[in-house]
Each structure stands twice: as C-alpha cells, then as structure tokens.
Structure 1
Amino acid sequence: MAITVDNASSNDVGFQYLRKRLLRWKDGTVLEGKFVHMRCATHILNLTVREGLKECDDSIKRIRNVVRFVRSSPARLQKFRNCVNQEQIESKRQLYLDVETRWNSTYLMLEYALIFRKAFDLLENSNGGKFFSKLTKMSGVPTDMDWDRVASFIPFLNIFYDATLRLSGSLYATTNVHLLELVTIGKMIKKKCESVDIKERSMANGMKKKHDKYWENVDNINLMLYVAVCCA
C-alpha cells in the first residue's frame, strides 16, 4: 500500500518510475499507487529541529568540542572524573558525543553535558592551560552564555525527542499517531514563535518554516495518514 522513505528529491523521481511499473501489473497497486509514497515523519522532524538548532550552532559546537576533548584520551577522561568527584556531582550518566546528522543524539549530548557543567568549569581552571589552549584552536571554550542558552531550550527539545521516540517505535504501529504528534508539535512551535525570548523565538521561526514546508498544505499529506487515524 505504501513505502516510507526520507525526503531526498531523488525519491520523488524514483517513486514516479515505481508507480508506472506497478500500474503495468494486474492488481499491482492499491488505488493506482497514488498513495504509495509515504514521507518519513521522523526524518521531517529531524530536519525541522536541525533548522531551529542553527540559531545556537556556535554554542553547540563549543560544547561538542569540550565533550570531544574530554573523551579523546583515558588520561583526560580520568582528570574529568576527578573534577566530577570534587564537585560532588552524583549521576550515572556518562559524557555522550553526538552524531552531527542526528539531532536526537545532539539533544542527549547537550542534556548530559549540562549535568557536568561545574566539572567542565573546574577542569578548565585546573588543567594547566591545556584545556583552554586546545579548544581555542577550535571554536573556543563554552562560555556561561553558551551553557545558559543551551539550558534554556533543552525542555523545548525534550518534547521533540519524546515525539521522535514514539514515532520511531518498531514493536507497535505508529502510523495512527503521526497526525496527533504533528498537530501537537505544530501548535507548540507556533506558541514559541510568540516567545518574549528573542533567541527562542528565532529558533521557533526556523522550525516553523521547515515544518510548514511539509505539513501546512493538507493536499500534500498522504491521505493514508488520515485513514490510519480513523481506523485506529
């Protein structure tokens, strides 16, 4: 009935060819293949969030580099653990380095790094200048403004992260929950577009443009999603 793929433009061409081939088969398609092309909702969600994260790209890069610095050798990791103990940070979480093309891994990296913010500050002041000089050659050491900015939008990103987990389930049907998640996210983004915080508002505006590109026009939405909701 339908095949789900990401939103690469080459897929549009591929599905045009596939539909022609299916139409040549007797009873080869449902409804003449009009709804065989299903765009991956989680991939669109990924594109939407990444568009918003561009607003804080520099802050994210600096935090990513400081995590990479600590994880780059056992000796540095041990020094960092000593700083964690000195700051009496009690957490079973470990530093996590993201995959830059997957926003949900970036979310986890930032969330975990924030837990150890004081330990990073202590490491900067107790590492004989190596910490500072090494990161200065890259994008610099995270400032208080960087940490505060990331901390302010983590709760916002958490909603997207939870939605991604629900839509990515493999042990249960997800098609029937797509529209509910998308409508909820759309309303949340619209609300954030009216935020008094300039950075948050700018992030939400970027997300809205990408979200609306795929979901604003109901004529562009695969009708099978509506059928799935009605049959759930």
Structure 2
Amino acid sequence: MTEETTAVSEQAAALQGEPVSVALTGASGAQYGLRLIECLVAVGRPVYVMISRAAQVVIATETDVKIPSDVERAQQKLTGLYGAVPGQIRVFSRDNWFAPVASGSGSPSATVVCPCSTGSLSAFAVGASDNLIERAVDVALKERRKLILVPREAPYSEIHLEHMLKLTRMGAVVIPASPGFYHKPDSVEAMIDFVVARILDQLGIDQQLMPRWGSER
C-alpha cells in the first residue's frame, strides 16, 4: 500500500456518523444548500448530493459557484470547494436508480431537500418518484426516516400549504427558509447560517453557527 493510499484510507476512517442526503432543487436559496453541505463536511459527515437541473440554473444565477452537469466533475468540484476528504461527497445523477438513496436498504437515516421548490413539494406529496430526488424522499417517507424540507417561496398558495401539511403529517419536518433577526445578523452569510443552524439542530448535529436561545443571558 502506497503512502498516498494509506493517507486516503486514514482520512476516510476519520469520517463520523451515517451519510446525510442533501438535495438541491430549483427554488431560490441555493446558498442554504451549499452552506449545509459545507457544514456537514466540516464535522466529518459523509454527504450524498443530488442537484436538479433547475437547481443548477439557480446556483449559477445566485452564486459564484459553477457546478458542472457531469457527475464526476461535480463531485470533484464540491470536494475541492469544501475541502472534503476523497469519497466524503458523492454526487448522484437524477436517473441513477442504483444510488443508495433509491432503496430503503441503502438509504441514509436523514434526507434534506434544501432549497425545496414548490414543484418538488407537489411531487413529494403524491409520491411521484420520477427522478432520484423524488425517489429519495419517497424512500425516506416510507421508511419513516428523518426528512427535512426547506421551501422558499412567497407568498405560499393554498396548494403549497396543503402539500406542506400533508408531508408534515407523513413525518417530514418543514423548515421554511425564513431567517430570524433577533441575533442581529450583520451579513447575508449570518442570515444563511440562521437557517442552516436550524437544519443541523434537527439532524442532531452539534453546531456553532448560532448560540442557543438564552445562552447569552
């Protein structure tokens, strides 16, 4: 075994906990999903990433990050961008039905759709499963696993609200991308971290992005 192979093996062994699936769909707020991936990598969690076609457009529009459409290149891009160890981030295409997230026997214990478009909400609510993101959510629901949806829309129609209510009753946790201001954010990044902190709390992952309520008093 070469020194390089040994180093890679040691880095992989340092990863902690089960993988977390993160899906980015076509709603505004790509920064929330990218920041979540960054934070998960920082605490040593393996991350399964799915990016819809619409999300690729949103990422290119809202951020300076350019995610290649090719899966391998996208994986290399995110790995380098967030300093992940080799294999820590795995990117899956929309039609990869052999991905772990496509089956209850391989899917991780937590799935986050961030941001979650209202179109995706609709597909999730009816169990469409027409692509890997929809199938991953369907698996999370049927297996009664942690599912976090982060919608970003304004205003919400009755259809959107009905879908959120339906999915909540199925066991999903809905965290609208609605940052608070009681922590007196002084930057866009601080507002993003407010929402990401709430997601990490729901995942049971220790975070230092936001102080606990009352901890500063």
TM-score range, shorter chain: under 0.3
More strand by share: 2
Greater RCO (CA < 8 Å, at least 6 residues apart): 1
TM-score normalized with structure 1 length: 0.25
Larger Cα-atom Rg: 1
TM-score normalized with structure 2 length: 0.26
